[in-house]
Amino acid sequence: MTGKTTKKGASKAAKPAKAAKPAAKSGAKTKVAKAAKPKRAAPRRRAAAKTPLKIGALVPMTLPPPPGTFRGQGSLAILDGRLFIAAGDKVVSAAPDDRRWKVAYEPPKRALGDKSAALAETLGLVKDGPAAKMMGVEVAGALGFGPFASFQGKSDKMPALYCSTQSIFGAHILRSADGETLEPVSDPGLGQSDLRAVAALAPAGEWLVAAGAPIHYRQRHRGTVNRSDPVRIVASTDPAKGGWEAVAEPGLGSDVTGGVTALCAAHGHVYAAVMNADLGFSLWRAEPGPDLPWKWSEVVDRGGHGYSLSPGVSAMVEHNGTLYVAAGISEYGYGKDYAGPSAAELLRVDADGNWDLLMGRPRFTPGGLKVPLSGMGAGFGGGYHSLIPSLTVYDGWLYAGTRNCESEFIIRGGAEDETLEMAGGAALWASKDGLDWTQVMTDGDGNPALTAVRSLAATDTGLFAAMAINPQVLAHDMGLGATEKAADEIEVWAATKAVKSAKKG
């Protein structure tokens, strides 16, 4: 198992930490509430609603490094007690007490045609020369997988697990009803010939909503995207049989272009976050209903006036009637034209569409001065926490997992130096109200190579997390020196026992 573990293979649990003061790099200093001294851990039992969970290793189930760098790897879901995780070019599953992964879906290879060969050349997927020479070459039917969603449509006897794909042949929606395997249940492109990636998937009442994007959005080029294509959002009340319909006019009835990076239902609406590397993300919402297309209105513009330092939304979740929105820059905290470095921010939106800054950089907006209501600067006060890839709610607590790029910055500054001392690591925070936060895990639980909490899944049996392990950082930390850059490995962790909050509340 990759990472630092105990003899039994379980990672050492982090002690509850006091909320850190905002770092100077993360914006203006703000007043931080004085934290109480950590209390002794509660007896081992299921967590009460008054306490967040401490995270520890689940079992030694380490996935091999997933190929490629497409967004969505590490997406995690649970159906009937069985774990599903996107691992590069396949989806694998396992029960919590298993010691190995089982392939739940592996797309068959397909031969390249005219359009797919040209796109494969553009993306550099094959090295057999120009597109004209690649006709007939077989490649993977899917390059990666997007998010999962649990949904019960008209033809589903019970909630089923749905997953989206990214493919040069057209995106598919996959479905699992047996908790073992996934099968395609949509036409390529969901009825749209050029829809090759589904970047966001979310249930909203009677609808399963999907946001499409050209597949070149999935490439990571310092947060930049091709913004020439209008936003496209489709939905179905019976995804097991297809029935996908456009629920938004091109550009959301305006001139909005870019990729939708997140969808979430809240307040009887469905919210869509649109990426814009120049002006900052925008957040739109519509009320789902039978009259199509739905009417969309803008709730947040210009990245909440964080502009290019908040180009995209990485995660959204509803908790106690409030929508929580995590924004930031995906690549090392740097954006288009090297904007940054910048740490992640957290906003909240109420039922009336009003928004507040919970954690981040103070700023002036047309609605007046916005200061972080939690008293914490960007990145929960840590300038290297460039992104919040995961948000979820479990047992009355809101959990936020970060991506930390400190060790990656260290390597970039001296990759050939075998004596580099690694630092940093991902963090996990918990809050009941979005204002007072308890740090559940810090500095990758003592492992700087644990750089991100990719995704979180809350179930009746516990809270599960997909953790990203950076092989380069791990090699340096183990004294092995410089290695070639490789895709992250994924570890699955789970909640173990309750801890007392480091704050009064």
Selected residue with higher pLDDT from 164 and 120? 164
Which residue, chain included where needed, has tokens 């929960």? 380
Q: Please give the model's pTM, rounded to 2 decimal places.
A: 0.82
Cα angle for residues 195, 253, 270 (degrees, 5° grid): 75
Binned at pLDDT 50, 70 and 90, residue 244 comes out as very high
Q: Residue 235 above 70 pLDDT?
A: yes
pLDDT at 113: 81
Lowest-confidence pick of 66-75, 84-93, 149-158, 247-256 = 66-75
- Between the ranges 84-98, 132-146, 237-251, 457-471, where is the mean pLDDT highest? 237-251
* 263: amino acid identity, one letter: L
Cα distances (Å, whole numbers) of residue 418 to 305, 332, 425, 467, 476: 42, 22, 19, 25, 7
Amino acid identity of residue 362, one-letter, is P
Q: Express the helix, strand and coil content of the chain in percent, nearest 5 each.
A: 15, 40, 50
Contact between residue 312 and residue 327 where contact means Cβ atoms under 8 Å apart: yes
Length of the chain: 505
Please state the three-class secondary structure of 160-225 as a single string: EEEEEEECCCCCCEEEECCCCCCEECCCHHHHCCCCCEEEEEEEECCEEEEEEECHHHHCCCCCCC
Rounded mean pLDDT of the chain? 77
Burial 311-337 (b: 16+ CB within 10 A, else e): bbbbbbbbbeebbbbbbbbbbbbbbbe
Q: According to the model, what pLDDT value does residue 484 have?
A: 66
**Per-residue model confidence as pLDDT tens digits over 292-350:** 999 999 999 999 999 988 999 999 999 999 999 999 987 655 555 545 578 999 999 99
In the chain, what percentage of residues exceed pLDDT 70?
Answer: 72
Is 110 exposed, middle or buried (CB count within 10 Å of its CB: 0-12, 13-18, 19+)?
A: middle
The predicted pLDDT at position 34 comes to 38
DSSP state of 122: H
* 225 and 217 Cβ atoms separated by less than 8 Å: yes
pLDDT digits (tens, 9 = 90+) for 457-480: 988 777 888 888 887 787 777 766
pLDDT for the residue numbered 65 = 39
Is the predicted pLDDT of residue 352 greater than 80, yes or no?
yes
Is the pLDDT at 51 greater than 70, yes or no? no
Which three-class secondary structure string do you get for 465-490? EEEEECHHHHHHHCCCCCCCCCCCEE
Helix (H, G, I), strand (E, B) or coil at 159: coil
pLDDT at 150: 95
Instruction: Provide the percentage of residues in the chain whose pLDDT is more than 90.
Output: 39
Q: What confidence tens digit (pLDDT) does each residue in 354-396 have? A: 999 999 999 999 989 999 999 999 999 988 999 999 999 998 9
Q: Strand pairing partners for 87?
A: 90
Coil vs helix vs strand at 438: strand
Q: Report the half-sphere exposure of 306 (CA within 13 A, side-chain side).
A: 39
CB 196 within 8 A of CB 166: yes
Rounded Cα–Cα distance for residues 222 and 234 (Å): 28
Pair type for strands 232-236 and 245-246: antiparallel
> Per-residue pLDDT tens for 258-269?
789 999 999 999
Which residues make beta-bridge pairs with 317?
324
Other beta carbons within 10 angstroms of residue 255's beta carbon come to 8
Residues 6+ apart with CB under 8 A from 261: 199, 200, 273, 274, 275, 281, 312, 313, 314
Alpha-carbon distance 191 to 187, whole Å?
A: 6
| Secondary structure of 43-105 in HEC code, one letter for each residue | CCCCCCCCCCEEEEEEEEEECCCCCCCCCCCCCEEEECCEEEEEECCEEEEECCCCCCCEEEE
Please list, in sequence order, all residues whose beta carbon lies within 8 angstroms of the beta carbon of residue 472, skipping any fewer than 6 positions away: 408, 411, 482, 483, 484, 485, 486
What does the DSSP assignment read for 295-318? PEEEEE-HHHHTGGGS-EEEEEEE
Q: Are 223 and 309 in contact (CB under 8 A)?
A: no
Convert the pLDDT of each residue in 85-125 to its tens digit.
887 778 888 877 776 778 899 988 888 887 777 777 777 66
What pLDDT does 182 receive? 94
* Residue 272 pLDDT greater than 80, yes or no: yes
Q: What pLDDT score was predicted for residue 197? A: 85
Handedness of CA 365, 367, 368, 373 (dihedral sign): negative
Beta bridge partners of 93: 84, 102
Q: pLDDT digit string (tens) for 165-207?
A: 888 888 899 999 888 899 999 988 887 767 888 889 999 999 9
| Best-predicted range by mean pLDDT (53-57, 208-212, 249-253) | 208-212
The answer, yes or no, to whether residue 142 has pLDDT greater than 90, is: no
Token output for 456? 């979180």
